Amino acid sequence: MTGDLFFEEFEVGAARETSGRTITEADIVLHAGQTGDFYPHHMDAEWCKTQPFGQRMAHGTLIFSVGVGLTAGAINSQAMSYGYDRLRFVRPVFIGDTIRVRVSIKEKRDDAKRPAHGVVVEALEVVNQRGETVLVCEHLLLVNRKS
């Protein structure tokens, strides 16, 4: 799924997987500074030792952002992001975990407000180095039709 694809050219079931990205302490610190989310789950290593996971975890919004970034590849001038639905943080991601994203075309549908476009729904599954799902969501694309 690369290059300029029109709505009609997307195939339900088509899939791809991104390369990996290791989450670092610097990622977590920068994200906390950008968002103002300094909760101890992300920032206080000693407090986290007293909690069930025993260590700091990455912000869910950080994993979402990095995951979405990993899916960005070739620019499709026929499509634009229309938003995200059904976002869930399934498992924690820890410092040193490597994530990658599995993307598949889940659905295609008409756009009642824009007959010159259709909506393509990509299912995104972010997985860690053990193949465990850590985040899922649906990415909606607004895509030009050929005619």
Query: Rounded to an integer, what distance in angstroms lies between the CA atom of residue 18 and that of residue 47?
Result: 34
pLDDT value of position 1: 46
Q: Report CA-CA distances (Å) from 59 to 24, 71, 92.
A: 12, 19, 8
Class of the CATH domain delimited by 7-144:
alpha beta
Average pLDDT of the chain, as a whole number: 96
- What SS3 state is found at 40? helix
- Which pLDDT score, from 0 to 100, does residue 75 have? 84
Nearest C-alpha neighbor of 61 from the set 79, 84, 35, 43: 35
In contact, 82 and 9? CB cutoff 8 Å = no
User: pLDDT of 53-97, one tens digit each?
Assistant: 999 999 999 999 999 999 998 789 999 999 999 999 999 999 999
- Rounded to a whole number of angstroms, the distance between the first and last alpha carbons of the chain is 21
31 CB-near residues (< 8 Å, 6+ apart): 37, 42, 58, 59, 61, 62, 65
DSSP 122: E
